[in-house]
Structure 1
């Protein structure tokens, strides 16, 4: 496993981050395809054995049970100081006023709830899951600064938003002397490259760590175009992300398959290698519901795509509607 600096910070993270939305009580929340604790623990153990020290979850995943499962597993398997734990807040966690969003009240409540579920005194990275159009960014940033100063988070990060919003947040923190965002968790893969236009250049310029979500396009890049999965059958959000550009996307999926066959490697390795070779990317967030998923991700670290292969993968791409910021 390779380890890299987390943007311009001194924090060291593995070149792969294990995304933990896959793990949670299936009956809790909107994801019936999630793996319960007994199935999740061996995969978390395998990730640790492979050298992954970076784990990303969120308060909203499976109604908080993802945090509980990940927290218990890491507590049993490893010393707290040996792992980097990231979680997120923004989405609704309870009905009624103040049950969602990035107000000071909501953030102070949700950091404590996440720490309780994770079984830890602090998280290494506390992220806003989306932009809150109803709360002034100054209120959110000052609250996050206070959370860091209270010792409940070591760093703060953001997730999918427009580059102008992220730039505004960075400059607002600078003006007020508040703890700045050090990472961007954005939507980036061969089927969705809109982040290349403004967000990735902004992150490169500002020394921001980039930790893309869905680097395999929710599995679409890893199987035949007409094939499906249990997750695909119930994942309405996946269809919202990719259905609008199906014809062009199909050509990309077929290019991935052709290169994988010629190289005698899996399609997942090819698709992930493309993300890893982007110089702005720090640590893609990978999902793993089977041991092979982790094996493929680790193998992708050593797969070097040629310029001709990259050209073949990128040539069919057409501009996509902005997706993932909502």
Structure 2
């Protein structure tokens, strides 16, 4: 698998990342092991996790596998802090104490003395300078090699990056992580331009439109799918309306003409979009992952890219800027 630099930083990762949100829940430890081995065998390095994934179980599984199945140095491990679930409710705490407590617990679960990328999981109520000072501390103490942000909108991204760039001793932000797919192109309006302006890379989550762009929901919600589950049905439901179905139909038509699967077409569109460093694959099963990791030599023809742009909202202005 080819690699890419994360923004203007020295961090290099595979151009696909493996997401672990379902590990320990919908994805068993045995399946997680098979998926990680498949991913690494394909040349993948970037694995993205978080304390909130399975209440820490995803990190525990990953930590065990780095000691039983492969070497820690074979992976670029990215995790997050500042977000969790308590008593069934989402809790965001981006104070210095909460963030550093999260990181210390992540390192214990991962059985490592550092993570390669530590990200603030969401914008919080704590003063921004306090939140970002926690990133500075983590990097200066060797607990994290690089720092990034997750789920920040455009002005939040620009404000945080500018603050860090204002003083040379502060840790620069190298990446942002937001939802981005053919069903979710809002990031092109402000987030992606902000990332590009500040020399940051993008890790898109849900590049397959929360699974909808695989085509499996075209006529109904299959049993056993994420959309049919009690805990993830709400996550898929917004993309089951008529506009999304029309976009999915267009992806399926493109896939038929290219002898690809709809999921492969949707992923390639994201992978090769401007600013993108590595889409995060949220596959729940080894079979879903295997369909996606063998695309290193594949790309979409320019007319197909343009047609998909047109049917999903129009020209990607950043794509034109890069071409110029």
Taking structure 2 as the reference length, the TM-score comes to 0.89
Gaps of 5+ in 1: 27-33, 320-326
Deviation at 1:233, TM superposition (A): 1.4
- Corresponding residue for residue 156 of structure 1: 147
Q: Quick check: 1:169 aligned with 2:164? A: no
CA contact (8 A) 1:215 1:286 kept: yes
Deviation at 1:240, TM superposition (A): 5.9
**Residue number among 31, 37, 44 corresponding to 2:29 in the alignment:** 37
Q: How many residues align?
A: 305
- Corresponding residue for residue 273 of structure 2: 278
The structure-2 alpha-carbon separation of the partners of 1:239 and 1:267, relative to structure 1 and needing over 3 Å to count, comes to closer
**Residue number among 192, 210, 220 corresponding to 2:212 in the alignment:** 220
Gaps of 5+ in 2: 315-324
- Corresponding residue for residue 235 of structure 2: 238
Query: Secondary structure of 1:88's partner?
Result: strand
- Corresponding residue for residue 23 of structure 2: 23
**Residue number among 242, 245, 251 corresponding to 2:246 in the alignment:** 251
CA contact (8 A) 1:270 1:300 kept: no
Deviation at 1:3, TM superposition (A): 1.0
- Corresponding residue for residue 131 of structure 1: 123
The structure-2 alpha-carbon separation of the partners of 1:156 and 1:2, relative to structure 1 and needing over 3 Å to count, comes to same
CA contact (8 A) 1:23 1:66 kept: yes
- Corresponding residue for residue 29 of structure 1: none
Deviation at 1:79, TM superposition (A): 1.9
Per-residue CA deviations over 1:217-264 (Å, capped at 9, x if unaligned) read 111000242233431112144246535xx2221111001111111111
The structure-2 alpha-carbon separation of the partners of 1:165 and 1:241, relative to structure 1 and needing over 3 Å to count, comes to farther
Query: Secondary structure of 1:300's partner?
Result: coil
Deviation at 1:210, TM superposition (A): 0.7
Kindly report which structure 2 residues correspond to 1:85-124, keeping only aligned pairs within 5 A, or say none: 85-92=77-84, 94=86, 100-124=92-116
Deviation at 1:93, TM superposition (A): 5.2
CA distance in 1, matches of 2:207, 2:297: 17
Taking structure 1 as the reference length, the TM-score comes to 0.88
The structure-2 alpha-carbon separation of the partners of 1:287 and 1:239, relative to structure 1 and needing over 3 Å to count, comes to closer
Deviation at 1:273, TM superposition (A): 0.8
CA distance in 1, matches of 2:295, 2:268: 5
CA distance in 2, matches of 1:315, 1:182: 31
Structure that is richer in strand per residue = 2
- Corresponding residue for residue 73 of structure 1: 65
